Structure 1
Amino acid sequence: MKILIMKFRNIGDTLLATPLAANLRLAYPQAQIHFACNEGCEAMLEGNANIDKIHIYRRTSAKNSGFLKRIKTELDFLAKLKSEHFDIAINATEGDRGAYLAFLSGAKTRIGFDGGSFASRLLTHKVAQNCEIFGSHTIEHDLALLSALSLTPRTKTISIAFDDYSEFFADKLPASFIHFHPMSRWLFKCPKDEIIADLLDFCELELGVKCVMTCANDAKEIARCENILRLAKSKPSAFLGELSLKQVAFLSSKARLFVGVDTAVMHMAAAVNTPVVALFGPSSAMNWGPWDNTCANSGYKAKNGIQHMGAHSVVQASWECVPCSCDGCNGSKKSRCLDEINTSAIKELIKAKLEKG
């Protein structure tokens, strides 16, 4: 049997789909499980024992190419999927593209969420997105697709594989440290730089714990992090755009604590079982809170405010407009709920988690 999982979203979404692959492996131990994802997300899947083959869609090059080259990219990708002769194709992405690919792949069993569109009619098994599923955590949302195969989730553990980078980081990491990742590709998910600088100073100067800051290899993220370092009175270590995703996962696994915003690296820290303090703004913790691998069910039941799930915590303003899922207040690309976040509560959580060990 061959099974295809498709998740054409971002890095964090891809990582959070790994429990779906794990459940399919448990249900069909002899099956070949393939995973199709966007280019740049494959690091979340490489080395995963539950995934036999990864199919990478060159989304960026396709979007930036001329019409004919884009058509060729699409046809080549479809041809590769079709050549695998899948028995089951699962579209774990809301949207029509995966439904069309499932149909064109030739898979007899085609599973996805019922979007009410024409493409949904091409699925043989549709899962209704009722209020309970739509409002659930992304992991539980994806696992709802198992019902189409009459399966019940047996694990909700997120997994990410990475090499031992001890030699690479030799003499570069403190013996004990907090991992800070204050940036996201969507800067409206990030508080103003002064807040992060203040938290760094609190950890290093008041608590006496070294901090290590990371960010993606993106000019805007690097510029913001450099400004944070200028604002800080302390001298944290920093890897600004220097590390691969696998190296970041290794670094995070060695940290005593992770502090950051709603981004893929936050989910990676949770996946390697490092306690997380996450600063949330426009995002819903119900859908995107850091998942604790030791828990059976999500702990994020409130609309906003401070919430906990196992070793992880989310700090979010208790405002009526939060979460709004908007790209900043009134399209400004800046979120006031983050710029005015309760730093005292964040500091208390950091201190409590470090004391708990």
Structure 2
Amino acid sequence: MNILVIKFRNIGDVLLTAPLITALHTAGHRVSALVKSGTEAMLEGHPQLDDVLVYPMRSQGEGRLAYLRRELAFYRQLRARRFDLAINTTEGDRGVIAAFLSGAQRRRGPFTPGRDNRWRRYLLTETVNPRDTHLRHTVLRNLDLGHPDAANIPIAVTLHINDADRDTVRRLLDAQGYDSARPLVHIHPTSRWFFKCWTEDGMAATIDYLIANGAQVALSCAPDGHERAKLDAILARCRQRPFDLGGRLTLKQTAALSAIAAVFFGVDTAPMHMAAAVGTPVVAIFGPSGAFDWGPWPNGWRSDANPYPARNGVQSAGAHLVIQQSWDCAPCGQAGCNNSKRSDCLERTGTTQVIAALDAALARSHVR
């Protein structure tokens, strides 16, 4: 069967469709993925994926009519691939429409009766009710959409890194004095949503502790002015000098940095998922979002049960650890407390707890 998997979301969301792609391919199907521009790197090189298709974006200065013509041409090319099944993995309207316009006779996706617009139901031939999956990890919800056409295999999020990206990262580290005989901790302290970030003082104190106790620290952030300013504020509070790669790495190079590291430390971001995908132990601080939904995936997981079964609190799965307050309001799913863009649960997470978790992770890595 020729299957199209549609994921019109952000970088981390796209990466977490990798197990679904693997399971469909293992069952003997040909699999293509359709994603937003800028997220395709998360699936490029996936050994079980036949094609990565990128939805056309409207160019700057492009008229609406010209863009519509380009969209229609894209859909003509999509239909020419003659997909048998299109799986929309998100609850947005655009994915449902893309599944319908793909020409696939079978179209499957999430649909919540009484909440979603009824017209969405008519564009799908098979539906899955996502509200039947309370406290179910995103990886497992994606796999639910593959049944009964997906193989039952150990679940792993895979991310391909090429040698060129590894070499680039190694050169950047070497230029700042990297010593391969000493453990390296990759810290990605920023997020596009600052209400998911830990405190600048907490990050700086943790960096200082790690370096003072023999570890090396490499910092990264997205090539975005706001994130770079956040990273600079952290560096201004540091007494020790970590390796600064902020804004200098592509997505794949960020993953290559994690692959070199003994431990990854950060918050709920795409780089956290990327680190877990390349097999690096993760210590992550969660605030408004839930680990049951977005925790770093433990590759090789063999159960249909959620590796993060609790609503909040400290949880571990495989080599990964999530730190979150055991508060009744956590996770709130909001943009900070009452949508204030500030998260008390993160601001009140103590440095001592974080440092103890990183010490334990480094000890388990057998490199410290």
Q: TM-score, normalised by structure 1?
A: 0.93
- Which of 290, 303, 311 aligns to 2:311? It is 303
Partner of 2:202: 195
Partner of 1:251: 257
Distance 1:306 1:125 in 2: 37
Gaps of 5+ in 2: none
Matched, 1:84 2:92: no
Partner of 2:289: 283
Partner of 1:155: 154
1:32 CA displacement: 2.7
CA deviation vs aligned residue, 1:2-59 (integer Å, no higher than 9, x gap) = 210000000000000000000011101xx43110001111111111111111111234
- Which of 337, 345, 354 aligns to 1:346? It is 354
Percentage of pairs with the same residue: 41
1:343 CA displacement: 2.1
The change in CA–CA distance for 1:355 and 1:49 in structure 2 (over 3 A counts) is same
CA deviation vs aligned residue, 1:226-281 (integer Å, no higher than 9, x gap) = 11111011100011111111111111001000000100000000001100000101
Distance 2:263 2:39 in 1: 24
The change in CA–CA distance for 1:62 and 1:134 in structure 2 (over 3 A counts) is farther
CA deviation vs aligned residue, 1:151-198 (integer Å, no higher than 9, x gap) = 453231100101124432232444231000011111111022111111
1:64 CA displacement: 8.0
* SS of match in other structure, 2:32: strand
Equivalent positions of 1:53-132 (< 5 A) are 53-59=51-57, 61=58, 66-116=63-113, 117-131=118-132
Equivalent positions of 1:209-220 (< 5 A) are 209-220=215-226
Gaps of 5+ in 1: none
Distance 2:136 2:76 in 1: 35
Partner of 2:11: 11
- Asked whether the equivalents of residues 253 and 272 of structure 1 are also in contact (C-alpha less than 8 Å), the reply is yes
1:65 CA displacement: 5.2
Partner of 2:339: 331
Distance 1:153 1:264 in 2: 26
- Asked whether the equivalents of residues 62 and 73 of structure 1 are also in contact (C-alpha less than 8 Å), the reply is no
- Asked whether the equivalents of residues 24 and 151 of structure 2 are also in contact (C-alpha less than 8 Å), the reply is no
Name the aligned partner's letter for residue 157 of structure 2.
I
1:341 CA displacement: 1.0
Partner of 1:177: 184
Farther off after superposition, 323-332 or 281-290: 323-332
The change in CA–CA distance for 1:276 and 1:240 in structure 2 (over 3 A counts) is same
1:95 CA displacement: 2.3
Distance 1:64 1:318 in 2: 49
Distance 1:308 1:342 in 2: 18
Distance 1:334 1:58 in 2: 35
Matched, 1:32 2:30: yes
Partner of 1:321: 329
Name the aligned partner's letter for residue 84 of structure 2.
D
CA deviation vs aligned residue, 1:268-314 (integer Å, no higher than 9, x gap) = 00001100000101001100000110322432111111110010000
Q: CA RMSD in A?
A: 1.7
Farther off after superposition, 118-127 or 303-312: 118-127
- Asked whether the equivalents of residues 166 and 257 of structure 2 are also in contact (C-alpha less than 8 Å), the reply is no
Partner of 1:46: 44
- Asked whether the equivalents of residues 3 and 32 of structure 2 are also in contact (C-alpha less than 8 Å), the reply is yes
* SS of match in other structure, 2:218: strand
How many residue pairs end up in the alignment? 351
* SS of match in other structure, 1:167: helix
Q: TM-score, normalised by structure 2?
A: 0.91
Distance 2:196 2:74 in 1: 33
